[in-house]
Amino acid sequence: MEDNLDVYLGHTIFNRTNERVKVRGQLDGYVGRKKWKPKEEWVINENTHEPLITAEMGAIISQIKESGLRDAPANKQVYALSGILKCDLCGTSYAGNAGFYRCNAKVKTGHPCPNNAIAQEKAEETIFTLLSEHILKYQSIRPVIDAVKRKLGQVAPQLRPLEKRLEQIEKERNRLMTLFRRGLMEFEEVERELAELKNNKKTVQDSIDEMRAHQGVSDVDDNTIRNVIETLGEKVRKADAKVRKQTAMTVFQELRIGPKTGSPWARNITVKGVYLPLTGVNVASPRGFEPLLPA
């Protein structure tokens, strides 16, 4: 009710929700990690329907919302690997609870799993050390960077046909306006064709803007790239828990936790699929990294 208070008061709201974000084709929250836009950006049409509550009641609810009395606890623990960490024995997801990741099969009747729980700190330190010291290292991903730079170097030749198409659209627009001024076309016909040209122009212009945004990337100094990549790895390793979770969900396809073996015991966390930030390129083989997790 707090989030939809204006609707209960009889108003209709537009432009309230931020755009959804997709990660590898899956919905993953909202732009800026916030569902609602700032209220000054909302478009509110007042008194569009019968209110369900009085203005006085609305004021009380608004005060409760502003006081934060009904907000979720701010100290709720974030498990950065939940959603991608799975059991290597039975394939069931590991879930975070009370400072540990545990195989969900252990709590299902008839589905016992002998795989052990693992301390949150141990699992996350292993994975984010791997990310910082091995994956986000310049030499590890230099072949991918070189391939991307070669691809971006091909942008310029592809721009000219789009620029010509933009010129043609503008000429066609001028032709339509001339015919209309001479009384050779009806307003409705001109309006319809202008609307189609406008849509075509936006599509072409968006493609041009995207290509131009990438121009010059192939000329970026290698030392600059190296510094950005390796600094990013260390920052992610030490980042806020929510940032670490978002990074893990974006970079790793799946993590598999193996059982304890040997004496003294050790266990493997296997990384299946690594996506480099900003490239969308899968650079790891299905079982590309297997960091050993000691006792």
Domain end position, chosen among 160, 188, 219 = 219
Same domain for 246 and 116, yes or no, is yes
Query: What separation in angstroms does the CA of 218 have from each of 145, 159, 221, 266, 276?
Result: 9, 16, 9, 44, 17
Same domain for 31 and 170, yes or no, is no
Q: Which residues of 85-102 are buried (b: 16+ CB within 10 A; e: fewer)?
A: bbbbebebebbbeeebbb
Same domain for 137 and 259, yes or no, is yes
Same domain for 212 and 240, yes or no, is no
How far, rounded to the nearest angstrom, does the alpha carbon of residue 239 sit from its chain's CA centroid?
17
Same domain for 44 and 179, yes or no, is no
Same domain for 123 and 253, yes or no, is yes
Domain span including residue 176: 148-219
Same domain for 139 and 239, yes or no, is yes
Task: State the pLDDT at residue 284.
Answer: 39
In a domain, 246, yes or no: yes
Same domain for 38 and 153, yes or no, is no
Domain end position, chosen among 162, 188, 219 = 219
In a domain, 75, yes or no: no
Same domain for 109 and 244, yes or no, is yes
Greatest mean pLDDT among 52-56, 59-63, 143-147, 228-232: 52-56
Same domain for 268 and 132, yes or no, is yes
Task: State the pLDDT at residue 286.
Answer: 36
What mean pLDDT is predicted for residues 131-135?
Answer: 74
In a domain, 240, yes or no: yes
Same domain for 124 and 244, yes or no, is yes
In a domain, 76, yes or no: no
Q: How far apart are CA 32 and CA 249, in angstroms?
A: 16
Q: How far apart are CA 292 and CA 270, in angstroms?
A: 9
Q: How do residues 185-233 score in pLDDT, each as one tens digit?
A: 888 888 888 889 988 888 888 887 776 665 544 455 566 666 666 666 6
Q: What is the dihedral of CA 226, 227, 228, 231, to 10 degrees?
A: 120
Task: State the pLDDT at residue 80.
Answer: 85
Asked if 113 and 92 count as a contact pair (C-beta separation under 8 A), the reply is yes
In a domain, 23, yes or no: yes
**Percent of residues, the chain, with pLDDT higher than 90:** 1
Same domain for 137 and 17, yes or no, is no
In a domain, 30, yes or no: yes
Token duo for residue 252: 């790793």
Q: How many domains does the chain have?
A: 3
